[in-house]
Amino acid sequence: MTQKTYIQSYIQIENNEIVLNGKSVFKIEPTNFGDFSKQALRHFEIQYPKFFKMDALSKLAFLGSELLLSPITSTEQEHNIALVLANKSSSLDTDVKYQESISDKENYFPSPAVFVYTLPNICLGEISIRHQLKSENSFFIFDTFNTEFMSNYSNILLNTNKADTVLCGWVEFFNDSYKAFLCVIGTEENTEYKNETINTLYNK
* Tens digits of residue pLDDT in 154-201: 999 999 999 999 999 999 998 889 999 999 999 999 989 988 999 999
Closest CA to 36 of 9, 70, 59, 68: 59
pLDDT band at 116 (very low <50, low <70, confident <90, very high): low
Beta bridge partners of 147: none
> CA torsion, points 91, 179, 52, 93, in degrees to nearest 10?
30
**Which pLDDT does position 114 carry in this prediction?**
65
Percent of the chain exceeding pLDDT 70 equals 85
Q: How far apart are CA 85 and CA 119, in angstroms?
A: 13
Instruction: Indicate if the alpha-carbon torsion angle 68, 70, 72, 76 is positive or negative.
Output: positive
Instruction: Please list, in sequence order, all residues whose beta carbon lies within 8 angstroms of the beta carbon of residue 131, skipping any fewer than 6 positions away.
Output: 65, 69, 73, 79, 81
